[in-house]
Structure 1
Amino acid sequence: MEREAHSLKIEKILFQAKSDYQNVMVFHVLVIGEGDGGVMREVARHSSVKQIYICEIDKLVVDRSSSSKLIVSTTPPPQTDQLLTAISLLFRNSKLSGIFSNRTSKKNCAICWSNVTTGQGQAIFTAECSHSFHYPCIANNVQHGNLCCPICRAKWDKNNVPFQFSGITHGFADDEPLPFTSPAQSSGPQNVTIKTHTETSAIPAADSRPQYPVLVSICAPPLQDPDGEVRTPIDLVTVLDVSGSMQGQKLDLVKQAIKFVIENMGSSDRLSIVSFSTNSRRVLPLRRMTVDGRESAIEAVESLVAGGGTDIAEGLKKGTQVLEDRRQRNPVASIILLSDGQDNYCRSPSQMLKKLPASIRSSDMQHEIPVHTFGFGNDHDAKIMHAISEESRGTFSYIESVGMIQDAFALCIGGLLSVVAQELRLTVRSASHGAKIVSIPSGRYVSQISDDGSQGLVDIGNMYAEEVKQFLVYLLVPQSSASETKTSLMDVLCVYRDLASNEFIQLQSERVEISRPEFCSPTELAVCLEVDRQRNRLLVADAIGEAQRLAEMGNLEGAREILTQRRETLLASAAAKAGDSLSNMFETELKEIRDKMASMKLYEEAGRAYALAGMSSHSRQRASARGNAEGSCLAMKGRKQLATKAAGRASGGRSGAATLAAGGFGGKGGPKGKRSAMDHLVAAAGDSDEADDMSFALFDGGSFDGGNDVHRGAFETPAMVRMVQKSQRKNQSK
């Protein structure tokens, strides 16, 4: 049996002495842990045990137990007359009696023997024979095939126990069956959109460009019914740290956050809950979030109790097994992992990655199980949590304060509950002789260039509703032999599985071409806002990664210098001078990370996690929580300041703005009913309210509803923002 470690506060020592064998103490707390008590606790879990004897050879313990009003039997149990004494643990009139009394008492759980009265913070199950037990205790009993009451031995109806019992199962092949029809399949397909922007509208015919950027933007369609269940259902597993450091307010707020997740899942969605500390435990099997399923899930959440060490790998293995062993599968599957402490068994990311199940390390888009990790507080191991998310195609979020847990979860599930496309692959092909693909910076998305630069691929995987992915494709553009003509640069194709129709759809955009006049006007050579913005984003992502690497080496001065230099470069860009809101956010991001690298103490407390969360977000072009980052829908301050800075730059750089190519994601002028990026920039110079909206436009460059005062950071989708707002309203109503 494993040895266990416990800590306790002793209110008062009632007795203390030293026998021939040990130190003996009596105090106001009973600890059942190592030795006899630990053995007894495990034996007592088996309902076939009728009575328990502890045989004690230490006379001092026996004498003291007698004087403490314990019933002590000196009659040896049958066939054990060689033992000196047997103590039958039936307490009476002692302060310990409320903790450890007659196992048949209606006030106590007959499995763990602790109190089962309501109001103690634990879920209680009352059987048809009227005996009550802690929910996790009896659920575990039932899962092992025991359908009899541990007290009266009454046989229970297998359909009226905490979880459905279908005999002994192997692994976790006990997921609740899916409904016959999926709500997402009742609607027709909505196509992903592809847009392209060249850096300039023309290149002189006599010039060549060794690294000419073309921006490819992919935008997913919106949800057809944002407030209903006509969407793709999900199988979600939450893997929760319940180690000793989670006691008190931390665990209470995590429970609250998981309840929020439960409330916002639909009847076709399924949820499983796994807890881990020194060991891991599946608290809830994969159940549909129907009315009954939600009640069971909430009871399971309430049963969580903090204690023990931290073994993240064990929790992830069990959470992954829940998904691997499913008999049926929803189209989307994901794991949410939360931890607040240092892992006791893995001291480095490399050690942790070796322990991860192969299924969450797979690069196969068809069997994608992303793990979205949440580092809670200043003591968690940000490097390990970040490594897990990167390896599994998930995101890493940094929860700086306890009050942010629910909102951070809301941001994540807002995306998970809005997946509209899967297995998305972007293909670009050279469209003329001499034009070659040189590079495609793609972050953590797998990309490759083949056929001597004639073709490039990027595997993107799943996409949330209205999510935008943007990639700069750098081309070698040769000289043109004939002026006043156009050069064909490349063709862009996209293949993905549409989840509304469950069909594969292939799209092809218009061929990317560029004019080749003999001489170019200043307007033709003007830098495109969208291209420059994406170049700024890549600049920032590289700067964060390089600064974080230097900080880990202890070179904080070098890290701050990198961030300062890149910030100056960003501010000198055409987009920043024109007052581009996203470029302004990126500048603020560099400044915040630099401030968190002021000292090694500050870096280790907050800077490391903040930087890694930023790297995670940029590498996947997907929103993640980062403390109280300015510009995010999670932020509670700093919105007007950012808007003012953006408006000021636009006002001071009108001439620069006038040379920029117009249009947000929708191209010149944008989609019908939406204003172009140029319109926003011009309006920002003289309208502070419009500037406030403009500074928090989506990353696509300006799609927003100006009347709703919606604030979005980079990569935050409308579905994410709606869920965060729902969480914030719920918190405010309490």
Structure 2
Amino acid sequence: MNPTIEITPARPLTSPSEVTDLLVRITPTAEATPAPRPPLDLAVVIDTSGSMNGLPLQLAKEAVVLVNQTLSPEDRLSVVSFNSGVQVVLPLQKIGPAERLQRQLDRLHAGGSTALHGGWQMGSALLQGDAMPGNLPRVLLLTDGRANVGVTQPRAIAADVALALSRSVSTSTVGVGMRYDEQVLESIAWAGDGNYHFAETPEALPGLFEAELESLRTTVGRLASLGISGVEVVDVLNDLRTLPTGRLALPPLRAERSLDLLLRIKARAGETLGLRLAWTDAWDQRQTHRAFFVLPQAESDSVASEHPEVVRVRAGLLAARVQRVVAMLASLGKLEEALATLESSRSQLEMGIRSGLNLSAELETVAELERRLRKGERQSASKFAGSRAYSKTTGRDDQTLKN
């Protein structure tokens, strides 16, 4: 992977020391001779508690069969189920006939409680116990309920997920319906450097599983981080973890996708910003790339207009921050307060659109949230807002195909 790093300041600096925004766009560019993608090691962990009875479990099974059909012969798949206990449905192995997998899945029936941590732990253990150098391991955890067997404290679960990540096993989560705890699933995805999906209805499961596979297939750099030097960082508008080294933990880097980061810094004209991008490549080797940028001086004391692309990215991230607030208010039943907060965000986005910025997707999200809130669907609104905000603020939604 040959990454490019583009740095765009909001405007040239005028005063001796001032706060300004910088857009940092990271794009892994195509190799002259594309390298084969690393094989995937996927552990699908399925909730089979009583609430999954009927259509939810049936469609979860169909989604697993779809995964089996779309993976390549070099990929490996395992399936774990959990209710009051944990069962290994399929040990980690290379992709086999769909009929054999279907027979094993047909034995699964819904009933019992929700040993969420135990199910995740087994999936992670299968990947760690038979790790292959260069393979890309991930747990995909699907549940429609709340952990009530074994370890149930969110912090304890997230700590174990983070430990698995230090051993190269990432975790994504899928919440089905309205009963699951979105804060738990989001914290697991956050700690596991993975995606958090909201499947409002079981019918969404096949599409979400396919999206997860696409994310893995296009990953060219994992355990990515960004070090910043030479300036004072006041804020990072993305929602990123800070590593013990002081660097920012980035989402996985994806081929030909651009990752947009918005840094708010305090600096002087002429100072040099230094960036150090690091990642683990397909051969499990740690790679680094450095970039430097001299902050420009304004030609006069007059304040220039801000760069439109910086304004656009900032508006999207600020709208996502508002969605987090709306999710919290909706979960507490404060629907009128949530609507008022959303209306303020709508006004800001409409102002940006009138000035020529492409913020239509953000405005559509606001409209959908408003629709749910006005219908009194507080759980739906909370989960929808939380999942959209997570994808946007962690940089996963920004990884769009390079034009």
Do they fold alike, i.e. is TM over 0.5? yes
Contact 2:238 2:317 survives alignment (8 Å): no
Structure 2 counterpart of 1:219 = 27
CA-to-aligned-CA distance 1:356-377 (integer Å, 9 cap, x gap):
2754123x86524332111112
Work out which of the residue numbers 246, 262, 265 in structure 2 matches 1:472: 262
SS in 2 for 1:322: helix
Structure 2 counterpart of 1:512 = 294
Work out which of the residue numbers 365, 389, 392 in structure 2 matches 1:618: 392
Q: 1:239 and 2:45 equivalent?
A: yes
Change (3 A) 1:557 1:459: same
1:172-321 correspondence runs (5 A): 190-200=1-11, 202-204=12-14, 207-208=15-16, 210-222=18-30, 230-289=36-95, 291=96, 296-321=100-125
1:212, distance to aligned residue in structure 2 (A) = 0.7
Cα root mean square deviation, aligned: 2.9
One-letter amino acid of the structure 1 residue matched with residue 258 of structure 2: V
1:447, distance to aligned residue in structure 2 (A) = 5.8
CA-to-aligned-CA distance 1:217-266 (integer Å, 9 cap, x gap):
1122358899xx92111211001112233333332222211111111112
SS in 1 for 2:264: strand
1:443, distance to aligned residue in structure 2 (A) = 0.4
1:196, distance to aligned residue in structure 2 (A) = 0.7
SS in 2 for 1:245: helix
Q: 1:462 and 2:249 equivalent?
A: no
- Counterparts of 1:490 and 1:308, CA distance in 2: 56
1:13-412 correspondence runs (5 A): 190-200=1-11, 202-204=12-14, 207-208=15-16, 210-222=18-30, 230-289=36-95, 291=96, 296-326=100-130, 328-345=132-149, 351-356=152-157, 358-362=159-163, 366-412=166-212
Contact 1:320 1:357 survives alignment (8 Å): no
Change (3 A) 1:489 1:590: farther
1:338, distance to aligned residue in structure 2 (A) = 1.1
Structure 1 counterpart of 2:377 = 602
Q: 1:491 and 2:274 equivalent?
A: yes
Unmatched segments (≥5 aa) in structure 1: 1-189, 451-455, 481-486, 624-697, 705-734
One-letter amino acid of the structure 2 residue matched with residue 395 of structure 1: N
CA-to-aligned-CA distance 1:543-595 (integer Å, 9 cap, x gap):
1122222333332222221111122123223xx234433x2211221232233
- Counterparts of 1:278 and 1:540, CA distance in 2: 40
Change (3 A) 1:327 1:550: closer
Change (3 A) 1:360 1:337: same
Structure 2 counterpart of 1:537 = 316
One-letter amino acid of the structure 1 residue matched with residue 161 of structure 2: I
1:696-711 correspondence runs (5 A): 703-704=402-403
Change (3 A) 1:223 1:280: farther
Q: 1:588 and 2:394 equivalent?
A: no
Change (3 A) 1:436 1:620: closer
| Higher helix fraction (1 or 2) | 2
- Counterparts of 2:402 and 2:25, CA distance in 1: 14
One-letter amino acid of the structure 1 residue matched with residue 361 of structure 2: M
SS in 2 for 1:203: coil
1:307, distance to aligned residue in structure 2 (A) = 2.7
One-letter amino acid of the structure 1 residue matched with residue 240 of structure 2: R
One-letter amino acid of the structure 2 residue matched with residue 533 of structure 1: R
Q: 1:445 and 2:280 equivalent?
A: no
1:426, distance to aligned residue in structure 2 (A) = 1.3
1:616, distance to aligned residue in structure 2 (A) = 1.9
Q: 1:577 and 2:354 equivalent?
A: yes
CA-to-aligned-CA distance 1:113-165 (integer Å, 9 cap, x gap):
xxxxxxxxxxxxxxxxxxxxxxxxxxxxxxxxxxxxxxxxxxxxxxxxxxxxx
1:540-689 correspondence runs (5 A): 540-573=319-352, 576-581=353-358, 583-598=359-374, 601-604=376-379, 606-623=380-397
SS in 1 for 2:250: strand
1:324, distance to aligned residue in structure 2 (A) = 3.1
- Counterparts of 2:396 and 2:273, CA distance in 1: 27
- Counterparts of 1:361 and 1:502, CA distance in 2: 19
Contact 1:440 1:447 survives alignment (8 Å): no
Structure 2 counterpart of 1:21 = none
Change (3 A) 1:324 1:357: farther
Change (3 A) 1:355 1:279: farther
- Counterparts of 2:31 and 2:181, CA distance in 1: 36
One-letter amino acid of the structure 1 residue matched with residue 287 of structure 2: I
Contact 2:45 2:82 survives alignment (8 Å): yes
Change (3 A) 1:328 1:239: same
SS in 2 for 1:220: strand
**Runs of 4 or more consecutive aligned structure 1 residues displaced over 6 Å after TM superposition:** 223-226
SS in 2 for 1:515: coil
CA-to-aligned-CA distance 1:6-46 (integer Å, 9 cap, x gap):
xxxxxxxxxxxxxxxxxxxxxxxxxxxxxxxxxxxxxxxxx
| Bigger Cα Rg | 1
SS in 2 for 1:572: helix
- Counterparts of 2:173 and 2:399, CA distance in 1: 23
- Counterparts of 1:380 and 1:233, CA distance in 2: 31
SS in 1 for 2:19: strand
Contact 1:223 1:465 survives alignment (8 Å): no
Change (3 A) 1:593 1:357: closer
Contact 2:237 2:263 survives alignment (8 Å): yes
1:191, distance to aligned residue in structure 2 (A) = 0.8
Contact 1:489 1:514 survives alignment (8 Å): no
Alignment size in residue pairs: 403
Change (3 A) 1:429 1:261: same
For normalisation by structure 2, the TM-score amounts to: 0.89
Change (3 A) 1:246 1:502: closer
- Counterparts of 1:542 and 1:357, CA distance in 2: 22
- Counterparts of 1:379 and 1:615, CA distance in 2: 19
- Counterparts of 2:381 and 2:306, CA distance in 1: 34
Change (3 A) 1:257 1:396: same
One-letter amino acid of the structure 2 residue matched with residue 203 of structure 1: L
| Higher strand fraction (1 or 2) | 2
CA-to-aligned-CA distance 1:321-363 (integer Å, 9 cap, x gap):
22232264553211111122344448xxx9432552754123x
- Counterparts of 2:39 and 2:145, CA distance in 1: 32
- Counterparts of 1:304 and 1:225, CA distance in 2: 45
- Counterparts of 1:305 and 1:536, CA distance in 2: 46
One-letter amino acid of the structure 1 residue matched with residue 263 of structure 2: V
- Counterparts of 2:42 and 2:167, CA distance in 1: 14
